[in-house]
A and B are shown apart, each in its own frame.
Chain A
């Protein structure tokens, strides 16, 4: 008997204890922090990169990449639900009793122990008269009361605001209700199915068609899900992808969604103003042959058959790009024209072997902080269309590039900008190709000519001064050719490295300076030759802009050596095809959760802003007088109650015509 009671009782005691409740509240708060500090549900390789293989495994084991879906976290939440339920189970009966009972069974001594109390000896009035005054006072303030006659004395027990007790019930029931609704809407069902082996997440990069049945969910298979699909304009889908850890599942829908078109509207400043998808829902079962047309945008979803369809993302749906590949390493002057679509690849043969060109993205607008702005100035500039691509070598290594279509003006000069990075997630290194006449051609031609040894030789010959010393001239020519070669393959660094290798340290500075001067002069000569080819009369002097162009060209040439692409890919034309990212959700628990919200708000307000007040009146006849003892309590807002009580005291004193006895005098 004792042991049975102990076990069940101890468990109940533990689960319903305030200490556990507070511990759980704080534990959930702290556990939640983890998931906000570590970005959740990223692709797993990102985590490996960040933490290294060892910690990656440890954190994976702890479920830190999806904290809120991890068993331990759901466990704590479930614990809170259980604990709150036990608390309710244990408190509610007492609270209901507290609401219903007037508690007329009370002793004089306990009344005299109350913090709020007062006592009178009323001469020349009988009990009934005094009682009438008191109950009149109760009535005036909306107190309800019960009277009990004990023969030698009477007790009236009054109360008001007993619904305050419902506040506790509502609030805590709300926690349970919201918790349960939330669990129903979480990915508990998927976990259950996975655990029973009914589904397995797909980790390969497959198209939806090829995903095997074990990774597909039929409509209605789970009561709640949240999935995404990216639809190019003009296409349709009857499924969404559910991302789960490092893989995904395909959730089929009982209808199909077609994206007619997707539009982004912009403010004058270039910031996006609205994302609008025009959809058609095809549903033979419900709609027959007539599709349902609907427009959705952010904050305005479509709810169809209990499935909510939201505008959540956008991207490229296979824009058609016209490209011009300008060779960077050979002597060829003309670009090669190419055509492809975003999402597709092209096989190319570079100078160093076969290359795969993968077109990744196209963007119509690039709104970026104004680079020429004063610090702190929050100006933005639209840099216009851009596209990004990867160049993948046969061994699988890839570099990413990001090129703007139009030249951009920086510090008053115009550049074609191309970013390159060797690893995803790193910042881009930018190549600034100076533009002339709205084209990168002059620079690219200059570069190609520099790679043409014969052209260089002839050009330099033309500018050779007539000299008395042909040997010197020949040596100088060799030095010039060498420096140029070094520069083209390794930039300025290669030149100074060479100087370091061949010149003794005491003359290094001087020699480096000399090398650079020779190199610069040589390049200047060659640049003049390019201008000549363009038909510019350089003998009449060149303008400031050409001068600036030359300086910018030098910087660009110097950084070409680390650009690592055999060509510069210029975007010459495009036809944009957009894609709209839709999120489709189905949440069976929403209704429950919303009901919980209602309970919670009602409960909180009742609990804070009402109070359950009780006032007892004890009356007895005593030698020609009536003894009146009044005492009261409130379970909330004690300050307000003490004011009310003292008001009651003054009022009763007035009406009875006697002052209250000083406290302590009564007994």
Chain B
């Protein structure tokens, strides 16, 4: 495994966490505290009493995120500035989205999602060009494109949150309530997970593959927008009016995102091992990411996905206990969540206790994506049940 810079520079005698905090770390913490404190006083009237814990938890999580992974700070800062700018341009007039230049072409949620979509597709191509052209500069460009796409996409999501309130105080809700919104969330989370691994493993070789699945999501999103007009903000049906939605859905999508990422690395794994077997001197066998790297990141992603999915499913069960009268109803969506979970539990066991590695696990990760995809899309399209709000 490549030893990262950080580790080489690291001291064996680890100072305590407290001693390791730099001025920047403290500044970051304070900034997040002040920012979210201010946002809290601003939006507190919209929250019900259960929801105090959520901004608090989010604040802590955000601080921890920035401490754990430094690039998260600048990213958060830029997104916050963009979102605040949009809110400022909007004021209280939803109609401004059609006339205000900045909103219309850039920050209004639809505009932002279009930027996001095009940047992700562009980033996908750029990663592949960098990979096969072996150009570090183009690779950096691809990373920058991915960061930009994610930033503008997240801004769009935040702005959409505000827009829903501008439409009507009783319509306002967090934009994770339907298939359209969660597809954006999926793209963003997958991209952030990828950017994290890219940073930690100091390699851009996996970028094109992961971005490919994001581009797929973008293609679906565009079809859904233009063919089905799904982008309109809809009021929440009673079943979704719950603080549980705010935590259950994002947790789920960390799982989906991580599983999708693992599957794409599975694809890269198969291509590379195929290339090594057939043309060991060929370009493919040279430039595709090395097998141990893929194997390791695939495992990490599935482990993370499994942990997030475990939490998400449990949160779903707790929510179901509150909304439907029982923590488990064998509703198709629930059942498919269980299927996904069992599938990855089997995958983890094979790897850990039977020591399986290589192509079979890569194939299984890819098949896992289809199972996941069905849980996330197919159930809504083909099966009916209590989760029947996400139909196409």
The smallest beta-carbon distance between A503 and chain B, in angstroms, is 49
- Stretch from A106-114, A295-303, A462-470, A569-577 that touches the partner: A295-303
Tell me whether B241 and A299 are in contact (CB under 8 A): yes
> Which chain B residue shows the least CB distance to A266?
B235
Determine the chain A residues whose CB is within 8 A of the CB of B4 once the complex forms: 643
Task: Determine if A430 is an interface residue (Cβ-Cβ < 8 Å).
Answer: no
By a CB distance below 8 angstroms, the chain A residues around B234 are: 271
Instruction: Select one of B242, B307, B342 contacting A608, CB under 8 A.
Output: B307
Min C-beta distance of B64 to chain A, whole Å: 14
Are A22 and B321 in contact, CB atoms less than 8 angstroms apart?
Answer: no
B10 within 8 A of A: yes
Q: Are B325 and A226 in contact (CB under 8 A)?
A: yes
Task: Flag if A29 contacts B343 (CB, 8 Å).
Answer: yes
Count of chain B residues near A, Cβ 8 A:
60
Q: Size range of the interface on A?
A: 35 or more
Partner of B349, one of A21, A29, A68, A308: A21
Task: Indicate whether A26 sits within 8 Å of B342 (C-beta atoms), given known contacts A36-B383, A597-B317.
Answer: yes
- B314 contacts A601, C-beta separation under 8 Å: yes
The answer to whether A36 touches B346 (Cβ under 8 A) is no
Residues from chain B with Cβ under 8 Å of A185 in the complex: 326, 328
Convert A574-616 into 0s and 1s, putting 1 for each residue whose CB lies closer than 8 angstroms to a CB of B.
0000000001110100100110010011001100100000000
The answer to whether the Cβ of A647 comes within 8 Å of any Cβ in the partner chain is yes
Assess the A273–B327 pair: CB atoms within 8 A: no
A378 touching B383 in the complex, CB below 8 Å, given contacts A301-B325, A587-B326: no
B residues within 8 A CB of A29? 338-339, 342-343, 346
Interface string of B46-89 (1 = CB under 8 A from A): 00000000000000000000000000000000000000000000
* Distance, CA A37 to CA B385, complexed state (A): 11
Contact call B326/A585, Cβ cutoff below 8 A: yes
Q: A639: which of B1, B241, B323, B343 is its contact (CB, 8 Å)?
A: B1
- A590–B330 touching, CB < 8 Å: no
A22 touches B168 (CB 8 A): no
Cross-chain contact A643 with B3 (CB below 8 angstroms)? yes
Interface residue? B310 (CB, 8 A) = yes
Say whether B342 contacts A378, CB under 8 Å. no
In contact, A25 and B342 (Cβ under 8 angstroms):
yes
8 Å CB contacts to B: which residues of A255-269? Answer: 267-269
Q: Check: A646 CB closer than 8 A to any chain B CB.
A: yes
Measured between alpha carbons, how far is A29 from B372 in the docked complex, in Å? 12
Partner of B339, one of A33, A272, A300, A651: A33
Is the CB–CB distance between B12 and A648 below 8 Å? Answer: yes
What residues of A have a CB within 8 angstroms of the CB of B41 in the complex? Answer: none
State whether A308 touches B325 (Cβ < 8 A): yes
Contact B330 A299 (CB under 8 A): no
| Contact indicator per residue, chain A 18-57, by CB within 8 Å of chain B (1) or not (0) | 1001100110110011011101100000000000000000
Check if B228 sits within 8 Å of A378, measured CB to CB: yes
Say yes or no for A141: interface residue by CB 8 A criterion. Answer: yes
* Contact across chains for B229 and A377 when beta carbons are under 8 A apart: yes
Q: Is A137 an interface residue (CB 8 A)?
A: yes
Contact B238 A36 (CB under 8 A): no
Q: Does B358 contact A (CB under 8 A)?
A: no
Whole-angstrom CA separation of A593 from B314 in the bound complex: 10
Q: B117-147 interface mask toward A, CB cutoff 8 Å, 1 = contact, 0 = none? A: 0000000000000000000000000000000
Interface membership of B20, Cβ < 8 A: no
Answer whether residue B92 sits at the interface, using C-beta atoms and an 8 A cutoff: no
Nearest Cβ in chain A — how far from B41, in angstroms?
26
Are B325's CB and A604's CB within 8 A? no
Q: Are A643 and B7 in contact (CB under 8 A)?
A: yes
Nearest-CB residue, chain B, relative to A636: B352
Q: Which of B156-180 contact A (CB under 8 A)?
A: 168, 170-171
Among A18, A36, A68, A605, max chain B CB count under 10 A is at: A36
Q: Are B230 and A378 in contact (CB under 8 A)?
A: yes
Cα distance A36–B339 in the bound complex, in angstroms: 11
Q: Once bound together, how far apart are the Cα atoms of A301 and B383, in whole Å?
A: 27
B342 touches A272 (CB 8 A): no
B327 near A299: Cβ-Cβ < 8 Å = no
User: In A135-152, which residues have CB < 8 Å from any B CB?
Assistant: 137, 140-141
Digit string of B293-331 for contact with A (CB within 8 Å is 1, else 0)? Answer: 000100000011011001100100110011111111010
For window 213-248 of B, CB contacts with A under 8 Å fall at 227-230, 232, 234-235, 237-239, 241-242, 244
Within the assembled complex, what's the spacing in Å between the Cα atoms of A583 and B323? 10
Task: Give A299 to B324 CA distance when docked, in angstroms.
Answer: 8
Q: Does B14 contact A (CB under 8 A)?
A: yes
B-to-A contact residues, CB < 8 Å: 1, 3-4, 7, 10, 12-14, 168, 170-171, 227-230, 232, 234-235, 237-239, 241-242, 244, 296, 303-304, 306-307, 310-311, 314, 317-318, 321-328, 330, 332, 335-336, 338-339, 342-343, 345-346, 349-350, 353-354, 379, 383-385
List, sorted by A's number, 24 A–B pairs whose CB atoms are closer than 8 Å: A36-B332, A36-B336, A40-B330, A140-B12, A140-B13, A182-B328, A185-B326, A226-B325, A226-B326, A267-B171, A269-B235, A274-B238, A298-B239, A299-B238, A299-B244, A300-B322, A308-B325, A312-B325, A376-B229, A377-B229, A583-B325, A643-B1, A643-B4, A646-B3
Other A-B pairs beyond A32-B335, A299-B323, A597-B314, 8, CB < 8 Å = A21-B349, A33-B335, A140-B12, A297-B238, A312-B324, A587-B327, A597-B318, A608-B303
